[in-house]
Amino acid sequence: MCTCREQWKSDEEIKIFQEYLRIPTVHPDVDYTACVEFLKRQASNLGLPVDVIHPVMPSKPVVVMKWLGKIPELPSIILNSHMDVVPVFPEKWTHDPFGAHMDDQGRIYARGAQDMKSVGCQYMAAVRALKASGYQPRRTVYLTFVPDEETGGDMGMAEFVKGDYFKGMNVGFSLDEGIASENESYPVFYAERTLWHLRLKFSGHSGHGSLLHKDTAGEKFHYVMDKLIKFRETQVQLLARNPSWEVGDVTTLNLTQLEGGTQSNVVPPLIEAVFDVRIAVTQDEDALERQIRDWCDEAGGGVELDFILRCPAVETKIDASNPYWLGMKQGLDELGLITHTRVFPGATDSYYVRRMGIPALGFSPINNTPVLLHNHDEYLRADTYLHGIQVYRKLIPAIADS
């Protein structure tokens, strides 16, 4: 009698998924050549025309497959995914992170299994099944595969949306990645928190490390850091008091870089600290900036604040004004899936699409699965992967025909 594992191993869609996972499009030095060739072959097998665009440089390609709609003049939809994956520490993995090994329980281990080569392959598999059934979408559907999302998207989607090719696509809606759920439900993400990368420069008196100098950079750093940590604690408590909330519902603040000093017995004249701040949609952004600037002044002056990165807040409406959301929600409901709308805790390429005034939602059909994106031993079960294809078989027409 054939086991489930044997059936999964012989499944053509699983084989395609594993082939994609075995292409090491891994930072810091990503070579997308093999990935592009793989996607071009997939487009040929799907009978879809494919373009390879280079918005920034030849080493940063965007692969675009086009499924022509019955009414091509209508705004199109894009099914977006990114080709790149974050670095790995092979010694921390049970299996080769680019081997796509499937164990006896059907768990497929690989970097990108959840984030997000699974979604890119599920799009293609769903299109294959829909085309085989004779279905043609009302709107044109594009499958886009972009580079460098994991390093911020500056060399990928951020530039792609500014170009003439993207403008010619007449995009009305974008579907992109979400996050796995550890319970029965599926989150749908309609917004991201406002992202700040904030640099504070503390200047002060320098001198010999054996003396008690006044007005030092270290004292100023300590004062402001203490205030920031106390603010951070208010957010920790807020999250704890609201069990139904997730981290995307509060403001997070973390010290990520600290530089200063040249010698152990010399008090530095300058200390620089960088903070990653993700501002909740309910937080008054201007009030938070004023508060931080006040703390800098209270420290005694000589504290400079500047923004390395400051992304304005953008979100997608999830109400009757958004026909794409209504179509998607109807499809999810008809599948009997338990869903809840959320603010994404991190950052995705949906940000750049929303900034162009185009509605975008984040969704990954992964539930009852540990959240392992960017973690060791990232995996996705074969049955979960195959179920996700069926989910997209429902959602793509639900959105494209809206």
| Long-range Cβ pairs for the range 332-339 (8 Å, 24+) | 332/186, 332/188, 332/395, 334/394, 334/398, 335/391, 335/394, 337/185, 337/186, 337/391, 338/184, 338/185, 338/186, 339/185, 339/186, 339/187, 339/188
Comparing C-alpha atoms, which of 383, 23, 392 is closest to residue 176?
A: 392
Residues 187, 87, single domain; the answer is yes
Decide: 223 and 298 in contact? Cβ < 8 Å.
Answer: yes
**Which tens digits make up the pLDDT trace of 342-354?**
999 888 999 999 9
> Which domain-ending residue is among 249, 278, 310?
310
**Per-residue confidence band for 3, with pLDDT thresholds at 50, 70 and 90:** low
Comparing C-alpha atoms, which of 175, 113, 191, 177 is closest to residue 364?
A: 177
Residues 24, 146, single domain; the answer is yes
**Per-residue confidence band for 313, with pLDDT thresholds at 50, 70 and 90:** confident
Among 13, 115, 149, 150, the one annotated catalytic: 149
Q: CATH number for the domain including 69?
A: 3.40.630.10
**Per-residue confidence band for 9, with pLDDT thresholds at 50, 70 and 90:** confident
**Is 304 a known active-site residue?**
no
Which residues span the domain enclosing 377?
4-192+313-400
- Distance, in Å, from the CA atom of 181 to the CA atom of 275, rounded to the nearest integer, reads 28
Average pLDDT over residues 121-125: 98
**Per-residue confidence band for 190, with pLDDT thresholds at 50, 70 and 90:** very high
Among 84, 148, 150, 177, the one annotated catalytic: 84
Residue 54, classed as helix, strand or coil, is coil
**Is 285 a known active-site residue?**
no
Rg (CA), the chain: 24
Residues 271, 232, single domain; the answer is yes
**Which tens digits make up the pLDDT trace of 250-271?**
999 999 999 999 999 999 999 9
Prediction pTM value: 0.89
Percent of the chain with pLDDT strictly greater than 90: 93
Residues 200, 343, single domain; the answer is no
Name the H helices within 214-303.
217-241, 285-298
**Which tens digits make up the pLDDT trace of 291-308?**
999 999 999 999 999 999
